[in-house]
Amino acid sequence: MIDVRPYESLGGANHGWLDTRHHFSFDAYHDPARMGWGTVRVWNDDEIAPKSGFPLHPHANMEIITYVREGAITHKDSLGNEGRTAAGDVQVMSAGTGIRHAEYNLEPETTRIFQIWIHPTERGGPPARGQKPFPKSDRAGRFVTLASGFPGDEDALPIRSDARVLGATLKAGQSTEYALGAGRHAYLVAASGRVTVNGVALGARDGAAIEDEARLSITAIEDSEIVLVDAA
C-alpha cells in the first residue's frame, strides 16, 4: 500500500518569516486521518526567512531529526550546545526528560529543512544532541543511513527509536531499492525532483505513506533527492 500525500494537500501556513507545510497534524492543522505514520509523529517542510527562526522552546520524549536541504540552521540549547548545521548535514536531538532549544536561520538566504519527529522506544533518559555531515556525493545512486536506532548502523547519528532515517540522490533514470521488513512503516519524500516508488509517481515534496510492501524500488524521473524513514 502506497498512499500519496501531494504537497498541495498538506496543512500549514505562511507566517512571513516561516512558510511551513505539515505532512501530519501539527500546531493549528488537525486532520484525524493524518496523526502520524507508525512511530513517525511529525514531518514538517519548513522554509525559514533570513535572520529569523524559532525562539527558545521546550521538548520532551521525542527524537527530532533536522535534515537541512538548503542554507543552514543554527542551534542553541539548555545543555550549552551550539552548532550550525548546513545543507547536506543532519542534526538529531533526543529530548528525553526535557530540553529547551532555539533554531535560527542566521544566513543571508532562505533556509529549507525537513524536521522529523519520531516517538522514542522508551520515555525519559538524559537529553542529547548530535550533528554530522552527509555529502550528497556519498549518497549517489544509493541510500545512506543518516540516523538510526538499530545496532550495526555505526556511521549514522544515534536516535533512541526503532527507526532509521535514510537519504539518497538519484540521477534521472537511475534506480535504487530498499527492503522494508514485515510490519514496518515507511514514509518517503522527494526533497527535489520526481520519482516513482514501486511504479507510483511522486512529485517534489510529495509524501508517500507505505506499508505492506516488502521491497521499495525507487526510480528517478529527473534528478532527485530522497529522504526515507523506516519506522515501527
Picking from 46, 48, 3, 54, the residue whose alpha carbon sits closest to that of residue 21 is 46
Note the pLDDT of residue 100: 98
C-alpha cell at 219: 526510480
Reduce the DSSP state of residue 36 to 3 states and report it.
coil
Note the pLDDT of residue 157: 98
Note the pLDDT of residue 55: 96
Note the pLDDT of residue 116: 98
Note the pLDDT of residue 154: 93
C-alpha cell at 146: 543518516
Residue given cell 505514520 in the structure block: 37
**pLDDT block averages, 10 residues each, the chain of length 232:** 98 97 96 97 98 97 98 97 96 98 98 98 97 95 98 96 98 98 97 98 98 98 98 98
- Asked if 98 contacts 79 with a C-beta cutoff of 8 angstroms, the reply is no
Reduce the DSSP state of residue 9 to 3 states and report it.
helix
Residue extents of the structural domains in the chain: 2-231
DSSP string, 134-167: --GGGGBTS-EEEEE-STT-TTSEE-SSSEEEEE
Reduce the DSSP state of residue 7 to 3 states and report it.
helix
Question: In this structure, which topology does domain 2-231 adopt according to CATH?
Answer: Jelly Rolls (2.60.120)
Alpha-carbon gap, residue 165 to 72, rounded angstroms? 19
